[in-house]
Amino acid sequence: MKKGVLRCGHVQIRVLDMAEALEHYRDRLGLIEMNTDDQGRVYLKGWTECDKYSVILREADEAGMDFMGFKVDSDEHLDALKQDLIDFGCEVDELPAGDLADCGRRMSFVAGTGHRFELYADKEQTGRWGVGHHNPEAWPENLKGMKATRLDHCLLYGEDLESTFKLFTEVLGFWLTEQAMDGDMRIAQFFTCSMKEHEIAFIKSEGNTGAFHHASFYLESWQDVLHAADIISMHDISLDIGPTRHGLTHGATIYFFDPSGNRNETFCGGDYFFPDHPVTTWDAAQLGKAVFYHSRELNDRFLSVTT
Amino acid sequence: MKKGVLRCGHVQIRVLDMAEALEHYRDRLGLIEMNTDDQGRVYLKGWTECDKYSVILREADEAGMDFMGFKVDSDEHLDALKQDLIDFGCEVDELPAGDLADCGRRMSFVAGTGHRFELYADKEQTGRWGVGHHNPEAWPENLKGMKATRLDHCLLYGEDLESTFKLFTEVLGFWLTEQAMDGDMRIAQFFTCSMKEHEIAFIKSEGNTGAFHHASFYLESWQDVLHAADIISMHDISLDIGPTRHGLTHGATIYFFDPSGNRNETFCGGDYFFPDHPVTTWDAAQLGKAVFYHSRELNDRFLSVTT
Amino acid sequence: MKKGVLRCGHVQIRVLDMAEALEHYRDRLGLIEMNTDDQGRVYLKGWTECDKYSVILREADEAGMDFMGFKVDSDEHLDALKQDLIDFGCEVDELPAGDLADCGRRMSFVAGTGHRFELYADKEQTGRWGVGHHNPEAWPENLKGMKATRLDHCLLYGEDLESTFKLFTEVLGFWLTEQAMDGDMRIAQFFTCSMKEHEIAFIKSEGNTGAFHHASFYLESWQDVLHAADIISMHDISLDIGPTRHGLTHGATIYFFDPSGNRNETFCGGDYFFPDHPVTTWDAAQLGKAVFYHSRELNDRFLSVTT
Amino acid sequence: MKKGVLRCGHVQIRVLDMAEALEHYRDRLGLIEMNTDDQGRVYLKGWTECDKYSVILREADEAGMDFMGFKVDSDEHLDALKQDLIDFGCEVDELPAGDLADCGRRMSFVAGTGHRFELYADKEQTGRWGVGHHNPEAWPENLKGMKATRLDHCLLYGEDLESTFKLFTEVLGFWLTEQAMDGDMRIAQFFTCSMKEHEIAFIKSEGNTGAFHHASFYLESWQDVLHAADIISMHDISLDIGPTRHGLTHGATIYFFDPSGNRNETFCGGDYFFPDHPVTTWDAAQLGKAVFYHSRELNDRFLSVTT
């Protein structure tokens, strides 16, 4: 948190059919349905999250990610970051409070990779769902499905990793935690502003602009990853890969698709970060192992994205 | 244990290079090296096993399984089973005590699927390794690699599942626990003589005689399956599939290959059996899910065997 | 299963208030409520059990165990065991089919420790709850509370362990798996007729007749033991001890009380047994560690029982 | 990290016998022995820590904690914090680089609770032990004992929680994450400068000055907490309590003592923090549950400390 950015705070995902999507995100992933706005967007959260929501579903004709939002710790930092973005050359749209339900004003901009991001400092807080903050029990009973605890990060595909690197490290104050290098070219870059190994990550992909690889949700344990995989099978959800482990970050993971074709990840564990930690580097020649630590090879589907 | 057969007691596996094989079975799987006989065969066991060994490695020019042995609870049952085998039409070779180190006389015969099996009633007991049976600690420290706890079962491929079904259920007193059915044809049959969901299993495979799919070793937990997968990657062991779960038996599993190309499984959990339990049946149309519960499809490698 | 006894098949427990008891056994332990008979007894089971029920709750003025029943594999064995019991000196009451709902005739008798046991060969089978035996999923969703998978065993207190030892090993064909010895006196004896380390166990307790220490239920994993402990706290259930491990059997466990004061155990893991295994012996001087492996001392409550 | 303080970076613990202490911290906790200085102090670390060490053992006549050090992200912040401490009224001793092996200059001061703390900005980095930062494997093989991954935090006892609250929140820029309140009096205060629920915590204890409750080490999983408890028993280490869970932070934990009587904790899981999270409050009336979530009562030993 070098410049006041706290974390990956929300992601707006386009889904082809809201009823199917809700069944997936609420009943299978186990997110809590919190709200619907007058545009029909549905707001959900993982039970450990204190803010009111972290996932916004919007029904549309095409799957993909509309934008990803980062929460900032103060209005002062928000204004300063707006100016820094402008100075960096970004066009910043300031969206008014309430445009997104229960959320303050947002600074929206597009990165070199073609992805739209936004910053905001205020969102209604409803506290940890089902347990609260006064003599809180360990966890709420009656969680559904995979019992996802929180939105954790997103992985995105694009071409221009170079300017996006500058954007995240110099303008937004993130740290580079891990990277994959093909000679001098950075082909994967993982950024954080917290102790998490990544709040956002990018993989170089020629010809892709604004491509969405996955939104990731954190689980309590490796047993929960197994149970997530079981639920995927019980409900004929399309599996990408897993359970397995990543080399990058070492998280234990499973990839699968929502009914619209957006990829989700649920995972547990993995490395942690402090700002004085050295960057972890994987060689391009080891990219298979870096991504899928056990099979040590990329599957064909790893290249598929929604946009 | 209808007719005195206790369990899958040992398997003799052919390996191309003993030093490499030992590194694999001892240092990676974590079996305990117990003995070497004057033929150069090496005897190993999982730490929870009370008998002196359960895996015999024999160096040879071709990988595969020489034979699998079942322990019988008494000499009387052993003699009775010999006669029953002869009556069933098997040619039974009685091997003298000591032919296999520290093991009593063995009754050797070939099933319709072309696999050689044997029965024996005596083997030297050394007790649980590292903990014993007097005020025993929970587990021995300094176990290696995957910390395999025991040889659990083998899966074999062959054509003649019909006569082998009769052999195991009628002659040897096993129970059928699970099966996959293609119409009226049984294409997978799982047998037990204990509470384990399988002591041995067969999959129908045209053109295969005496084919060895895998020997399986039991792990304490799903976390140990993850660590087994990690060790596979750390030591560049050839992975087949996993971590995942089977539909048949519901064990949580990983398949991989020893340096000679013999497939191993390490797994945990799964269903249990009592003799009054109904048989579990999977339809051939669901065979992918029956074998690999999460991906719901057979991989090509699943057909590969050593003989 | 030397003489046809399969397993600990059911236990009838006296509870002071049925509504409270049901909330406990169904909503907290997660047993499935299956039936109520015309006496008001309620029948429940763990979801992995194939028979229709394993726990019978009877409302009464005093807590404790009415009887524990063992399932036998055939009517022939049932009749033979009846005669063997009579020859041993037991008074055997034959109860007609239907006296217990959906259960065949039962042979009821009292052991030297004052506990009433019974044998039966028939009980309606409803199969694994929620998953069945045809292309079965890994587990049923919407299990409640601790998600107990099965009744596993009971631990009983009494004086006359000697004749009860003979009864179980010589008459009923159980094996002694573990024991605690005070010199020549056996102060704890664990018996099985399966691969489980105990189907029933006794601890010597002067002055206690027919005393009930606990009924035990099996959980999938150590994570489930933690969650069971959490549920105990969330619902202000009286905790005895745990999570911890036993030395005897090495199961990982938690003890707590139902609203009537009957002790329950939920546990996972632990050792397994085959009939050729040596007996495990704990010295009386190590009894604390034998019972509670981590604290290495008996708590005061360990002596409390219901009768 | 409001003012540049990164984390709890090291703790110096007094031990009565270095050989016994090393056996405990290296072979039982599984810390890596890194160095010995010319005063005979031994330096150790958890394998995931990038800095060279986090635990310093000093042989002395009395057990307890000498000091706890927090790493700062820059020399500029270090100097600013020094001045802020002086302005707050602390006497600050600047210790030269090298006074502690491989560590830069340190600013040492005493809090109102009587504990000595220090800040430093430089320490030699050796990277993650056994895996490094270039194509790193998931974990190093041959870790010992409990496989502690890192020093996580310390819990201290003292009287003057009020001024220490100001010191940590106002001067050092920590956030209050959790507290226990007895009416208006804060009797427990948990502080963090990271995403961890606590880097340091204090409990009010009349008559105690500079008292050391425990140093805590992070484990990978709840299975590792069980194995830690097993190791405690195998080596006759003095157990305080556990395995269990805390209400405060919800970590799953075990407390035990080193051979000198200093308390250690190993734990896993628990809540996480972001600077916009509300403070979690436990009522004094619920203190038992706040500390030991399962038993819901403080044990006598919880009051014992070393100084």
Contact C233 A137 (CB under 8 A): yes
CA–CA separation, A11 and C223 (whole Å):
31
CA–CA separation, D236 and D262 (whole Å):
15
Q: What is the pLDDT of residue D299?
A: 83
Bridge partner residues of C180 (DSSP): C188, C282
As a three-state string, the secondary structure of chain C is CCCCEEEEEEEEEEECCHHHHHHHHHHHCCCEEEEECCCCCEEEECCCCCECCCEEEEECCCCEEEEEEEEECCHHHHHHHHHHHHHHCCCCEEECCCCCCCECCEEEEECCCCCEEEEECCECECCCCCCCCECCCCCCCCCCCCCCCEEEEEEEEECCHHHHHHHHHHHCCCEEEEEEEECCEEEEEEEECCCECCCEEEEECCCCCCEEEEEEEECCCHHHHHHHHHHHHHCCCCEEEEEEECCCCCCEEEEEECCCCCEEEEEECCCECCCCCCCEEEEHHHHHHHHCCCCCCCCHHHHCCEC
Whole-prediction pTM value?
Answer: 0.98
Closest CA to D180 of B45, B84, A136, B234: A136
Q: Which residue has the tokens 């979690």?
A: D280
Torsion sign, CA atoms D167, D169, D173, D178: positive
Shortest Cα distance from C1 to chain B (angstroms)?
7
Contact A133 D278 (CB under 8 A): yes
Q: Average model confidence (pLDDT) for chain B?
A: 97
CA distances from residue A229 to A235, B56, B123, B241, B242 in whole angstroms, order as listed: 10, 36, 42, 15, 12
CB D255 within 8 A of CB D214: yes
Runs of H (alpha helix) within chain B: 18-22, 75-88, 161-166, 222-234, 287-291
pLDDT tens-digit profile of D225-268?
999 999 999 999 999 999 999 999 999 999 999 999 999 999 99
Active site residue A255: yes
CA–CA separation, B270 and B282 (whole Å):
16
- The pLDDT > 70 percentage for chain B reads 99
Instruction: Give contacts of A252 with chain B, Cβ < 8 Å.
Output: 226
For residue A224, what is the nearest residue in chain C, using CA coordinates? Answer: C223
CA–CA separation, D145 and D232 (whole Å):
10
Catalytic residues of B: 153, 198, 214, 246, 255, 265
Q: For residue D269, report the phi and psi dihedrals to the nearest 5 degrees.
A: 65, -150
Is the N-terminal amide bond of D243 cis, ω within 30° of 0?
yes
Contact A230 B293 (CB under 8 A): yes
Closest CA to D291 of D232, D233, D250, D260: D250
Q: For every one of its 307 residues, what pLDDT tens digit does chain A have, with 9 covering 90 and above?
A: 789 999 999 999 999 999 999 999 999 999 999 999 999 999 999 999 999 999 999 999 999 999 999 999 999 999 999 999 999 999 999 999 999 999 999 999 999 999 999 999 999 999 999 999 999 999 999 999 999 999 999 999 999 999 999 999 999 999 999 999 999 999 999 999 999 999 999 999 999 999 999 999 999 999 999 999 999 999 999 999 999 999 999 999 999 999 999 999 999 999 999 999 999 999 999 999 999 999 999 987 887 888 6
CA–CA separation, D169 and D68 (whole Å):
17
pLDDT tens-digit profile of B38-66?
999 999 999 999 999 999 999 999 999 99
Q: Which residue has the tokens 């005895």?
A: C240
pLDDT tens-digit profile of C189-238?
999 999 999 999 999 999 999 999 999 999 999 999 999 999 999 999 99
CA–CA separation, C301 and D33 (whole Å):
42
Q: What is the pLDDT of residue C146?
A: 98
Catalytic residue among D77, D115, D213, D214: D214
User: What residues have CB less than 8 Å from D111, skipping those under 6 apart?
Assistant: D117, D158, D160, D163, D164, D167
CA–CA separation, D151 and C210 (whole Å):
51
Contact B139 D223 (CB under 8 A): no
Q: What is the pLDDT of residue D305?
A: 84
Chain A positions with Cβ closer than 8 Å to B: 222-223, 226, 229-230, 232-233, 239, 242-245, 252, 289, 293-296
pLDDT exceeds 70 at position D307: no
For residue D150, what is the nearest residue in chain A, using CA coordinates? Answer: A272
CA–CA separation, C66 and C87 (whole Å):
24
User: What residues have CB less than 8 Å from C71, skipping those under 6 apart?
Assistant: B276, C5, C6, C7, C9, C51, C119, C120, C121, C123
CA–CA separation, D214 and D305 (whole Å):
8
Instruction: Give contacts of C223 with chain D, Cβ < 8 Å.
Output: 222
Instruction: Tell me the pairing of strands C116-120 and C200-204.
Output: unpaired
For residue B144, what is the nearest residue in chain D, using CA coordinates? Answer: D142
Q: For residue C6, report the phi and psi dihedrals to the nearest 5 degrees.
A: -90, -50
- Partner-chain residue, chosen from C233, C244, C295, that has the shortest CB–CB distance to D296: C233
Q: What is the pLDDT of residue B243?
A: 98
pLDDT tens-digit profile of A232-270?
999 999 999 999 999 999 999 999 999 999 999 999 999
Q: For residue A287, report the phi and psi dihedrals to the nearest 5 degrees.
A: -60, -35
CA–CA separation, C70 and D178 (whole Å):
52
Shortest Cα distance from C47 to chain D (angstroms)?
25
Helix (H) / strand (E) element for D81: namely helix D75-88
pLDDT exceeds 90 at position D1: no
C284 burial class (0-12, 13-18, 19+ CB within 10 angstroms)? middle
Q: What is the pLDDT of residue A307?
A: 67
For residue A137, what is the nearest residue in chain D, using CA coordinates? Answer: D247
Structure tokens at D47: 């394998």
CA–CA separation, C282 and B248 (whole Å):
38
Contact D71 A6 (CB under 8 A): no
In 3-state terms, what secondary structure has residue B235?
Answer: coil
B184 burial class (0-12, 13-18, 19+ CB within 10 angstroms)? exposed
CA–CA separation, C264 and C255 (whole Å):
6
Instruction: Give the neighbours of chain A: at least 3 Cβ pairs within 8 Å.
Output: B, C, D
Structure tokens at C286: 């190590």
CA–CA separation, C296 and B17 (whole Å):
47
* DSSP code of residue B156: E
CA–CA separation, C176 and C178 (whole Å):
6
pLDDT exceeds 90 at position D277: yes
Contact D141 B221 (CB under 8 A): no
Instruction: Give contacts of B230 with chain A, Cβ < 8 Å.
Output: 245, 293-294
Structure tokens at B8: 């899958």
* DSSP code of residue B306: B
Helix (H) / strand (E) element for B200: namely strand B200-204
Shortest Cα distance from A296 to chain D (angstroms)?
12
pLDDT tens-digit profile of C15-61?
999 999 999 999 999 999 999 999 999 999 999 999 999 999 999 99
Active site residue A25: no
Structure tokens at D174: 């920590």
Shortest Cα distance from A12 to chain C (angstroms)?
29
Shortest Cα distance from A241 to chain C (angstroms)?
19
CB C293 within 8 A of CB D230: yes
Most A-contacting residue of C227, C235, C236, C268 (CB-CB within 10 A), to test interface: C227
Catalytic residue among D153, D157, D159, D293: D153
pLDDT exceeds 70 at position B116: yes
CA–CA separation, D284 and D188 (whole Å):
9
pLDDT tens-digit profile of B206-243?
999 999 999 999 999 999 999 999 999 999 999 999 99
Catalytic residue among C25, C214, C218, C293: C214
Q: Which residue has the tokens 């034998």?
A: C290
Contact D141 B234 (CB under 8 A): yes
- Partner-chain residue, chosen from A222, A243, A294, that has the shortest CB–CB distance to B232: A294
Q: For residue C9, report the phi and psi dihedrals to the nearest 5 degrees.
A: -105, -30
- Partner-chain residue, chosen from D239, D252, D289, that has the shortest CB–CB distance to C294: D239
pLDDT exceeds 90 at position B1: no
In 3-state terms, what secondary structure has residue A115?
Answer: coil
CB C232 within 8 A of CB C254: yes
Q: What is the arithmetic mean of pLDDT over B185-199? A: 98
CA–CA separation, A229 and D288 (whole Å):
38
Considering only CA atoms, give the Rg of chain C.
18
Q: What is the pLDDT of residue B300?
A: 78
